[in-house]
């Protein structure tokens, strides 16, 4: 193999994932709706996704999205996700529900999940973020990390925190950070994003993330 | 006229009888209680073990101690039931109060230090979250507990309605503040079914997930009544303040790991 052939091969290998890796729905259950501009489309297996798509899952539904060959996103039921940017940086907005993210470690590329008040950014990890109860004016946000580290920052402030593997964080009302720590309720999360590996539906009740005041009996 | 005289005689006789044979005594004790307990989490079970001791200022002695063990079980989120065994030492019962008709009359307590008793007790505690109240974090529990004292075959019942407010910071419990009222019923002893009652206040601080600190204060008013050719009543007031250390490990996590 001469030098030019070798460089061509390197170029092909380097760019292959980007060429082959358009974003699409790899799996779904139940009802998945894509809002693309003025069009409302019904989601289907293999359906291509483009920047700006708003994806909604219905009751008892889920969707698994492959994003640019760099990440797999699993949307829980009753979740709304917007693909803000799917280029060098993958940026999505979660406006309701819950989202599992499994991001490959690639040099120089990033991934972030935005909610109205929070940005969670990573360079390769597996984490879950979801809206919780609305106790104050805006809903709580819960995030936990299965693998890697997630940088969580509050919008419009300089407050940020690193959440490490095995830890979770509560963001009450989506506007203040708490100390990351282990939460027992995260043990029940279903991280699987591969239909061939078994059950995909995550049935974790996020109410379980909250202290049950009725359980306190110490005498 | 005759009728009026008879009524007067009956009245005087009745008054004389009561003035001779109806005696009422009262005592007030200030007690200090300490306890160390473990209330673990193991799925729907809450294994429980507790060691308790009380210092009684009236006699200036550490008289009552107990060791309890058992478990609660959560049937549904708002209802727990429990079954427990208790070995206690130094408890006082109606039989331990003695009197001797005088004059002068005398009454005293038998020294129950070292007197061991075995009890089984069963508990059902419904708890309702009153989230519609201002502050959201109100709970209305009612503890219903049946005791069977194997040693003296006494059956008794405790009913304790209460109201608890849980102070939370960032969705984590910080402090439980509870006001309860204890109602003790003797089911097969004495002549007064509701023989004891009184308020009970407790504060529980959630130091860590696995550790709570407790402070409490209670006032217990008890009536001991005996009838044996006359009637004798002891009105006993017991003011208790106590501290507790409660360990709350979550065994479910160990199983998962």
Q: Tell me which chain A residue has its CA closest to the CA of residue B49.
A: A219
Inspect the interface and report whether the beta carbons of A217 and B127 lie closer than 8 Å.
Answer: yes
The answer to whether residue A217 is domain-embedded is no
Residue predicted with more confidence, B70 or B23? B70
d(CA B180, CA A162): 43
* Mean of pLDDT values over A197-209: 90
Q: What is the DSSP string of A169-180?
A: EEEGGGT-----
Does the structure show a pLDDT above 90 at B187?
Answer: yes
* Mean of pLDDT values over B119-141: 95
Which of B78, B82, B170, B251 to mutate: most A Cβ within 10 Å? B170
The answer to whether residue A206 is domain-embedded is no
Does the structure show a pLDDT above 90 at A99?
Answer: yes
First to last CA, chain A: 79
pLDDT band at A21 (very low <50, low <70, confident <90, very high): low
Mean pLDDT check: name the lowest of B79-93, B119-133, B225-239. B225-239
pLDDT band at B5 (very low <50, low <70, confident <90, very high): low
Nearest CA to A202 among A194, A192, A211, A212?
Answer: A192
Residue predicted with more confidence, A7 or B242? B242
The answer to whether residue A205 is domain-embedded is no
* Structure confidence at residue A209 (pLDDT): 85
The answer to whether residue A81 is domain-embedded is yes
Nearest CA to A90 among A46, A53, A47, A62?
Answer: A53
Q: CB B82: neighbour CB atoms within 10 A? A: 20
Mean pLDDT in chain A? 86
**C-alpha R_g of chain B:** 23
DSSP H helical segments within B126-184, as ranges? Answer: none
Cis peptide before B103 (omega within 30 of 0): yes
Nearest CA to A111 among A141, A67, A153?
Answer: A67
First to last CA, chain B: 93
Confirm or reject contact between A38 and chain B (CB < 8 A): no
Q: What is the DSSP string of A22-71?
A: --EEEEEES-EEEEETTEEEE--TT-B--TT-EEEE-TT-EEEEEETTTE
For residue B72, the Cα-to-chain-centroid distance in whole angstroms is 18
Domain B25-256 in this protein, CATH class? mainly beta
pLDDT band at A19 (very low <50, low <70, confident <90, very high): very low
* Mean of pLDDT values over B203-224: 95
Nearest CA to B36 among B245, B248, B247?
Answer: B245
Inspect the interface and report whether the beta carbons of B77 and A184 lie closer than 8 Å.
Answer: no
B127 CA: distance to closest CA in chain A (Å)? 6
Confirm or reject contact between B246 and chain A (CB < 8 A): yes
A141 CA: distance to closest CA in chain B (Å)? 11
* Structure confidence at residue B119 (pLDDT): 98
pLDDT band at B254 (very low <50, low <70, confident <90, very high): low
A126 CA: distance to closest CA in chain B (Å)? 19
* Structure confidence at residue B21 (pLDDT): 54
A210 CA: distance to closest CA in chain B (Å)? 7
* Mean of pLDDT values over B45-67: 94
Nearest CA to A141 among A206, A51, A212, A73?
Answer: A206
Q: Provide, rounded to the nearest whole percent, the portion of chain B with pLDDT above 90.
A: 67
Tens digit of pLDDT for each residue in A71-91?
Answer: 899 999 999 999 999 888 899
Does the structure show a pLDDT above 70 at A9?
Answer: no
DSSP H helical segments within chain B, as ranges? Answer: 2-21, 251-256
Tens digit of pLDDT for each residue in B34-50?
Answer: 999 999 999 899 999 99
Bridge partner list, A29? A62
Q: CATH number of the domain that A111 lies in? A: 2.60.120.1440
Count Cβ atoms within 10 A of the Cβ of residue A13 and give its class: 0-12 exposed, 13-18 middle, 19 or more buried. exposed
* Structure confidence at residue B19 (pLDDT): 45
- Residue A118 · residue A153 · CB < 8 Å: yes
The answer to whether residue A46 is domain-embedded is yes
What ranges do the domains of chain B cover? 25-256
* Structure confidence at residue A86 (pLDDT): 87
Residue with tokens 């009838």: B227
**pTM of the entire structure?**
0.81
The answer to whether residue A213 is domain-embedded is no
Cα A60 to Cα A55, A78, A193, A203, B13, distances in angstroms: 15, 8, 16, 10, 83
d(CA A122, CA A90): 10
pLDDT band at A50 (very low <50, low <70, confident <90, very high): very high
**For residue A138, what are the domain limits?**
3-198
Q: Tell me which chain B residue has its CA closest to the CA of residue A208.
A: B77
Q: Provide, rounded to the nearest whole percent, the portion of chain A with pLDDT above 90.
A: 62
Residue predicted with more confidence, A152 or B17? A152
Confirm or reject contact between B51 and chain A (CB < 8 A): no
Bridge partner list, B170? none
* Mean of pLDDT values over A179-204: 91
The answer to whether residue A11 is domain-embedded is yes
d(CA B215, CA B34): 9
The answer to whether residue A204 is domain-embedded is no
E strand residue ranges, A53-117: 54-57, 62-67, 71-75, 80-86, 89-96, 98-103, 110-114
* Structure confidence at residue A185 (pLDDT): 85
For chain A, the domain total comes to 1
d(CA B203, CA B214): 6
Confirm or reject contact between B86 and chain A (CB < 8 A): no
A–B CB contacts, 8 A cutoff, strictly below: 61
Inspect the interface and report whether the beta carbons of B136 and A210 lie closer than 8 Å.
Answer: no
Which of B171, B172, B247 to mutate: most A Cβ within 10 Å? B171
Q: Cβ contacts (< 8 Å) between A143 and chain B: which residues?
A: none
Does the structure show a pLDDT above 90 at B253?
Answer: no
């Amino acid at each position: 193999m001469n030098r030019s052939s070798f460089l061509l091969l390197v170029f092909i290998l380097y760019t292959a994932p980007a060429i082959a890796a358009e974003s699409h729905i790899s799996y779904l259950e139940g009802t998945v709706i894509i809002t693309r501009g003025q069009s409302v489309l019904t989601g289907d297996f293999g359906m291509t996704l483009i920047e700006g798509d708003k994806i909604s899952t219905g009751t008892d539904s889920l969707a698994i999205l492959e994003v640019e060959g760099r990440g797999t996103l699993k949307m829980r039921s009753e979740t709304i996700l917007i693909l803000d940017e799917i280029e060098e940086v993958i940026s999505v907005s979660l406006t309701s529900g819950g989202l599992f993210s499994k991001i490959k470690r690639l040099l120089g590329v990033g991934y972030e999940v935005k909610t109205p008040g929070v940005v969670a950014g990573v360079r390769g990890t597996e984490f879950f973020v979801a809206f919780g109860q609305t106790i104050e004016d805006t809903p709580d946000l819960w995030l936990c990390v299965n693998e890697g580290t997630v940088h969580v920052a509050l919008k419009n402030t300089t407050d940020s925190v690193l959440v490490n593997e095995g830890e979770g964080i509560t963001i009450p009302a989506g506007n203040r950070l708490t100390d990351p720590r282990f939460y027992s309720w995260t043990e029940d999360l279903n991280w699987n994003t591969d239909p061939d590996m078994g059950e995909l539906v995550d049935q974790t009740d996020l109410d379980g993330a909250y202290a049950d005041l009725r359980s306190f009996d110490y005498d | 006229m005759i009728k009026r005289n008879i009524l007067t005689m009956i009245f005087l006789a009745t008054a004389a009888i009561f003035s001779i044979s109806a005696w009422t005594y009262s005592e007030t004790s200030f007690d200090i209680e300490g306890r160390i307990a473990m209330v673990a989490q193991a799925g729907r079970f809450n294994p429980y073990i507790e060691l308790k001791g009380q210092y009684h200022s009236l006699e200036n002695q550490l008289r009552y101690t107990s060791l309890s063990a058992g478990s609660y079980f959560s049937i549904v989120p708002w209802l727990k039931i429990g079954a427990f065994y208790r070995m206690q030492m130094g408890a006082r019962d109606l039989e331990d109060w003695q009197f001797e008709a005088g004059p002068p009359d005398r009454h005293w307590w038998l020294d129950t230090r070292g007197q061991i008793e075995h009890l089984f007790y069963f508990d059902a505690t419904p708890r309702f979250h009153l989230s519609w109240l201002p502050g959201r974090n109100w709970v209305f529990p009612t503890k219903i507990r049946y005791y069977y004292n194997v040693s003296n075959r006494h059956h008794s019942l405790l009913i304790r309605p209460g109201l608890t407010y849980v102070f939370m910071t960032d969705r984590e419990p910080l402090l439980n503040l509870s006001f309860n009222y204890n109602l003790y019923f003797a089911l097969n002893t004495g002549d007064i079914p509701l023989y004891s009652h009184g308020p009970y206040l407790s504060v529980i601080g959630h130091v860590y997930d696995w550790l709570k600190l407790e402070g409490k204060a209670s006032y217990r008013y008890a009536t001991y009544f005996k009838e044996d050719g006359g009637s004798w009543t002891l009105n006993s007031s017991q003011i208790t303040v106590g501290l507790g250390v409660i360990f709350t490990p979550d065994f479910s996590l160990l199983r998962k790991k």
